[in-house]
Structure 1
Amino acid sequence: MPGGRLTEQERQDIASGLADGHTYSEIARRLERPVSTITREVLRNGGASGYRADRAQQATAVRARRGKSAPQRPAPAVADAHGRDPEAVRALEEQFTDILVSTGLSRMTARVLACLYITDGGSLTAGELVQRLRVSPASISKAVGELEQHELIRRERHPRGRRDRYVIDGDIWYQSWLASARRNAMLAAFARDGGETLGPGTPAGERLVDMARLLEQLAQDMIQAAERVRAG
């Protein structure tokens, strides 16, 4: 793999890769660079949604000039209590976030969910999320609201404190899956009633009836699949 600082062309390639929706791992493989190098580059220059190659190149030049006038040795990354590489964990969290965004979650909501999942305790307060993700309390509040709406997290109140904790556990995806099945069933019922209102023999009515049949079957299959997994 090539060493040294990223070139201007490599930064252009990173920007193009992010714009095309590629993960850090895919970009790293294409450039034959470590994933940690790509992760640091993007995170220190605006993140996946704000990365600009020209700005990153300018920022690097500024840091290089500062380094010549006042050389400093960067502190080495310290492994956590389980001996894990912090850069590898950070890269994993970013990749998880990108995947969650591709499923339809907003980036901030995906970041909160990924952060909760990768935290060993599986729960954090709003203040801890603000500190870890370095965003505003309002951003966290909006994100956890969306996650609660989709039943992807649950809220717990500490018995001896006033701060809520946001928790994720093994039951979350099961509950979220059932919630999705219920939404499909509700939409199917609406579509069937709508088909009757518009007239079963009309094009619009038939369209809604077909929609109802599909969603009813999906809802039923989802519930049965969840029950099989639960029982097994």
Structure 2
Amino acid sequence: MGGGRLTAKERGDIEAGLADDLPYAAIARRLGRPTSTVSREVARHGGPGGYRAEHADRASSWRRRNRPPRPAAPPATDAEAAHGRDPDAVRAFTDAFATLMTAAGLPRTAARVLACLVTTPSGARTAAELAGLLGVSPASVSKAVGYLEGLDVLTRAHEPGRRRARHVIDDEVWLRLWSASARKNAAWADTARAGADLFGPGTAAGARLEAMRRFFAGVHRDMTDPSAGTALDDAMTVLTALLHAARPLAGGELAAALGWPPARVATAVRAAEHHPEACGPLVLRRTPSGAHLVTARHDRLTPAQRTALARRSDDPEVTA
């Protein structure tokens, strides 16, 4: 697989893949990169709905120019584990840190392994070292390490002349954990959306599930898209264009009318569809042919309110 920094072309391919609704794994296969590289890149630069290749490239260049020099990590030895501090105080802090992560949902041994690596000077230990420090069996460490590797929290490194691999925690671990949490919120929102569609907006269960969907969709957007304004602003422009046209328009027609690349239109459409709560009283819909049109949202009104409004619009005295 490819290594090193992502190029401007690769970032363009990532933007195009997102516009095509490809999963991260499929985009990564196209690039010959690990899936984690693509997921971190997207999470770092606006999320699936706001990723822009040129913005990401500029931000990455700025970070490289302004990154402070990284001090060399000292070799990991048991004598240095306390950083010159009181060993009992370090142990108490490590236990408290592990307890916090357990409360957040990590299995206990996995939380202890992670806390141990965070507080180790080099951020790396072998399985045998972890077992000795934590007072657990090698099998327990192996299971915990496998769990953390499944979350993309740990990596393995082999040093020259050493047969055993070292388990390493790097500086981007919290970004990856954040991304995993964001994906869970997206799954909650998708499940709630399916339930709201099943029961219908006019029922108590449907309204409750729609409120749940809006909550988790908003949390997901806030977590993954610090520049959500870009995609949502484009979405509002698309909705305004459809209102002005007063007829359904295909994606290509919208792109031509707005003078945008098709990928930008696709991203704006996806933002409007995935975050209807941010589009006010309007909602984007698709015709059977795949064209886009804009209508008023119905979930803001109860069935009784819609009936009353329809009755008033039919009253000659009101419409006169």
Tell me the TM-score normalized by structure 1. Answer: 0.56
Residues 141 and 80 (structure 1), Cα distance of their counterparts in 2 relative to 1, 3 Å cut: closer
- The alpha carbon displacement at 1:159 in A equals 6.4
User: Which residue of 2 is the match for residue 187 of structure 1?
Assistant: 188
Equivalent position amino acid for 1:145 in 2: G
Matches within 5 A, 1:73-84: 80=80, 82-84=83-85
Are positions 1:165 and 2:196 aligned together?
Answer: no
- The alpha carbon displacement at 1:79 in A equals 6.4
Q: Distance in 1 between matches of 2:154 and 2:227?
A: 19
Equivalent position amino acid for 2:155 in 1: R
User: Which residue of 2 is the match for residue 213 of structure 1?
Assistant: 214
Does the Cα contact within 8 Å between 1:155 and 1:164 map onto a contact in 2? no
Does the Cα contact within 8 Å between 2:102 and 2:108 map onto a contact in 1? yes
Matches within 5 A, 1:74-223: 80=80, 82-151=83-152, 153-158=153-158, 163-223=164-224
Residues 80 and 168 (structure 1), Cα distance of their counterparts in 2 relative to 1, 3 Å cut: closer
More relative contact order, 1 or 2 (CA 8 Å, 6+ apart):
2
Residues 202 and 115 (structure 1), Cα distance of their counterparts in 2 relative to 1, 3 Å cut: same
Equivalent position amino acid for 2:138 in 1: P
Does the Cα contact within 8 Å between 2:130 and 2:141 map onto a contact in 1? yes
Equivalent position amino acid for 2:109 in 1: M
Q: Distance in 2 between matches of 1:90 and 1:221?
A: 35
Runs of 5+ in structure 1 lacking a partner?
Answer: 1-77, 228-232
Greater Rg by CA:
2
- The alpha carbon displacement at 1:164 in A equals 3.6
Q: Distance in 2 between matches of 1:150 and 1:225?
A: 23
Q: Distance in 1 between matches of 2:100 and 2:206?
A: 37
Equivalent position amino acid for 2:133 in 1: R
Moved over 6 A (4+): none
Q: Distance in 1 between matches of 2:189 and 2:115?
A: 31
Runs of 5+ in structure 2 lacking a partner?
Answer: 1-77, 229-320
Does the Cα contact within 8 Å between 1:80 and 1:86 map onto a contact in 2? no
User: Which residue of 1 is the match for residue 262 of structure 2?
Assistant: none
Equivalent position amino acid for 1:218 in 2: V
For residues 32-83 of structure 1, the C-alpha deviation after alignment (integer angstroms, 9 at most, x for no partner) is xxxxxxxxxxxxxxxxxxxxxxxxxxxxxxxxxxxxxxxxxxxxxx964853
Residues 178 and 79 (structure 1), Cα distance of their counterparts in 2 relative to 1, 3 Å cut: closer
Tell me the TM-score normalized by structure 2. Answer: 0.42
Residues 118 and 159 (structure 1), Cα distance of their counterparts in 2 relative to 1, 3 Å cut: closer
For residues 107-164 of structure 1, the C-alpha deviation after alignment (integer angstroms, 9 at most, x for no partner) is 222211110111111011222211211211221122223323433x222241656644
Equivalent position amino acid for 1:86 in 2: P
Paired-residue identity, %:
48
Residues 168 and 200 (structure 1), Cα distance of their counterparts in 2 relative to 1, 3 Å cut: same
